[in-house]
């Protein structure tokens, strides 16, 4: 995974296909904790180019910068 910040509050996350597949597999596993699954969702949505405001609304999480 490579972080290439476009701004301080919204870094761009670039995932390889292998990394995306691994996160998706872990996300679907019944053995993955709720907290880890939430982090995986955030990484995947951020890698899709969504901004913090969209992510917090879609995933119902609270941003430290809100």
| Calpha distance 37→40 (Å, rounded) | 5
pLDDT at position 4: 42
Structure confidence at residue 10 (pLDDT): 61
Under 8 Å between Cβ of 9 and 1: no
The pLDDT value recorded for residue 3 is 45
pLDDT tens, residue by residue, 13-45: 899 999 999 999 999 999 999 999 988 988 898
Using CA atoms, how far residue 3 sits from 6, 17, 19, 23, 33, in Å, is 9, 15, 13, 16, 24
Mean pLDDT of the chain: 79
| pTM of the full structure | 0.68
Give every CB contact of residue 48 below 8 A, 6+ residues apart in sequence. none
């Amino acid at each position: 995974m490579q972080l290439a910040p476009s701004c301080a509050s919204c870094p761009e996350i670039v995932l390889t296909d292998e990394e995306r597949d691994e996160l998706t597999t872990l996300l679907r596993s019944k053995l993955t904790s709720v907290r880890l699954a939430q982090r995986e969702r955030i990484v995947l949505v951020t890698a899709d180019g969504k901004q913090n405001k969209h992510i917090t609304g879609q995933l119902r999480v609270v941003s430290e910068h809100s």
